[in-house]
Amino acid sequence: MGRTLAEKVWDDHVVRRAEGEPDLLFIDLHLLHEVTSPQAFDGLRMSGRTVRRTDLTIATEDHNTPTLDIDKPIADPVSRTQLETLRKNCAEFGVRLHPLGDVEQGVVHVVGPQLGLTQPGTTVVCGDSHTSTHGAFGALAFGIGTSQVEHVLATQTLPLAPFRTMAITVDGELPAGVTAKDLILAVIARIGTGGGQGYVIEYRGSAIEKLSMEARMTVCNMSIEAGARAGMIAPDRTTFDYLEGRPNAPVGADWDAALEYWKTLRTDDDAVFDHEVRIDANTLTPFVTWGTNPGQGAPLSSAVPDPASYADPSDRLAAEKALEYMGLSAGQPLREIAVDTVFVGSCTNGRIEDLRSAAAVLKGRKVADGVRMLVVPGSVRVALQAVEEGLDKVFTAAGAEWRHAGCSMCLGMNPDQLAPGERSASTSNRNFEGRQGKGGRTHLVSPQVAAATAVTGTLSAPADLSDVPVLTEV
């Protein structure tokens, strides 16, 4: 019987297989950031161990970094300590680090791909659940806990329990104005936040093949919100073109050998998935969340659902609690929900194409009175590219704030937070209670919806803007 893409990558990394034991897998790339690594380095120190493969390890600073005044000392002493701890650990153990102020600094899942480190057929881990992002390249990439971070540092391997395989096939054509974000939000609403549990999802079908590399990353990024171990997309011409010439991509004979291997990384025709889901891209529309988990979403054109409409009692209870927390009532049209803040950024939607699509909507328009809009590029490289294209000017002319790279309001570990009761339209990936600040209320949206929402002040798609005049003088 044939094998799936995920099974092929797994098999190619088995260091040791023994009866009654989990497979021991080799890890090709280990990404580190300041939040989930200090206790792991501590563990190494306590047991007198070293980092086995510093040449397969790289660190950056993202979660705690401020997005303003980055040349001044970090105000929050606890954040500062965490960053300083990472710097100390990387120096002591010989790990390459891109700290705040470095041109390669940024959200770890934006940095790996843009350096060309994330490659097809590799195993990629990071102490961060959104490591699933890297699966867009046909890598087997997943988030791990701090004990596992320590394990990988010490051994460059991980003992891993087997997974099941799921195919999500999206055929057809995404309608104009419908993005990868809308697609993945619709997938999660369909299969639920536990629907992917235990599975590695492979996204396939003609609509997936047409996606750019960045859009594929957006899709794979949110696999974890469906509970999946990882998400993957088979590498193809789009993948190879993206990688060629990147700083850490293979060159010369290595490039040729790599390409030959990468082309074998496709699910065999006779392979069988444990579970299959089919989605027709043509039926998709802009999608937003109304609740407090990423599965609680609906088409923007619809209304807040009535909890009573859920057959499952725990879904009903969850919906009731979510509406209470979100300050919404059943039947309220989603388009009438007014926001205070719009956040464009994160490892889901903080790459250059995301900024371009938000800027295209904002160009010549103004952010509505009383709405604050934050644009936070996913990395310094993304920021530089955006400046080169003049996107920063589009944002500031519209009245948005153009900030420095980092995770920022995605989880509000730095000063960028929602105040209690404040409501955001956010291009990030989690709408959990208090995620963006204590008492904050989050609606997950695409960059285009975020930009249109900033203009109208209520959840909107670009198509809703026809009656908002474009300012011609900009």
Partner 1 sequence: MEAFTTHTGRAVPLRRGNVDTDQIIPAHWLKKVTRNGFEDGLFEAWRKDEGFVLNAPERKGATVLVAGPDFGTGSSREHAVWALQNYGFKTVISARFADIFRGNSLKNGLLTVVLPQETVEALWALTEADPAAEITVDLVAREVRAEGVTAPFELDDNARWRLLEGLDDISLTLANEADIAAYEARRPSFKPSTARV
**Interface ranges with ligand SF4 (CB under 6 A):** 62-63, 107, 109, 128, 130, 346-347, 407, 410-411, 428-429
Q: What does 117 bind: ligand SF4, partner 1, none (CB cut-off 5 to 8 Å by kind)? A: partner 1
DSSP 353-365: HHHHHHHHHHTT-
CA distances from 137 to 9, 145, 159, 274 (A): 12, 23, 23, 22
Cβ-proximal residues to 118 (8 Å cutoff; 6+ apart), any chain: 29, 112, 124, 134, 137, 139, 141
- Find out whether 407 is annotated in a ligand binding site: yes
- Find out whether 347 is annotated in a ligand binding site: yes
Round to whole Å and give the CA distance between 392 and 233: 32
CB of 346 to ligand SF4, least distance (A): 4
Q: What does 82 bind: partner 1, ligand SF4, none (CB cut-off 5 to 8 Å by kind)? A: partner 1
Question: Between residues 181 and 363, which has the closer beta carbon with respect to ligand SF4?
Answer: 181
What 8-state DSSP symbol labels residue 224? G
CB of 161 to partner 1, least distance (A): 7
Q: What does 428 bind: partner 1, ligand SF4, none (CB cut-off 5 to 8 Å by kind)? A: ligand SF4
348 bridge partner residues: none
Question: Between residues 366 and 423, which has the closer beta carbon with respect to partner 1?
Answer: 423
CB of 421 to partner 1, least distance (A): 14
Q: How many residues does the chain have?
A: 474
Q: What does 472 bind: partner 1, ligand SF4, none (CB cut-off 5 to 8 Å by kind)? A: none
Q: What does 347 bind: partner 1, ligand SF4, none (CB cut-off 5 to 8 Å by kind)? A: ligand SF4
- Angle, helix 108-115 to helix 213-221, in steps of 10 degrees: 150
Look at residues 467, 471, 437, 433 and name the one whose alpha carbon lies nearest to residue 340: 437
CB of 21 to partner 1, least distance (A): 6
Look at residues 473, 437, 467, 443 and name the one whose alpha carbon lies nearest to residue 455: 467
CB of 147 to ligand SF4, least distance (A): 19
Q: What does 205 bind: ligand SF4, partner 1, none (CB cut-off 5 to 8 Å by kind)? A: none
Which backbone phi and psi does 343 adopt, to 5 degrees?
A: -120, 120
Round to whole Å and give the CA distance between 115 and 122: 15
Round to whole Å and give the CA distance between 152 and 362: 44
Structure tokens at 170: 């999206």
Q: What does 122 bind: ligand SF4, partner 1, none (CB cut-off 5 to 8 Å by kind)? A: partner 1
CB of 406 to ligand SF4, least distance (A): 8
Neighbours of 324 (CB within 10 A): 12
CB of 370 to partner 1, least distance (A): 27
Round to whole Å and give the CA distance between 28 and 160: 15
Question: Between residues 77 and 331, which has the closer beta carbon with respect to partner 1?
Answer: 77
Q: What order of strands is seen across the sheet that includes strand 341-344?
A: 401-402, 372-375, 341-344, 423-426, 441-444
Question: Between residues 25 and 394, which has the closer beta carbon with respect to partner 1?
Answer: 25
Question: Are 343 and 428 contacting, i.e. CB atoms less than 8 angstroms apart?
Answer: yes
CB of 21 to ligand SF4, least distance (A): 32
Q: What does 412 bind: ligand SF4, partner 1, none (CB cut-off 5 to 8 Å by kind)? A: partner 1
370 bridge partner residues: none
Which backbone phi and psi does 65 adopt, to 5 degrees?
A: -70, 140
Residues annotated within a binding site: 347, 407, 410
Per the annotation, binding residues for [4Fe-4S] cluster are 347, 407, 410
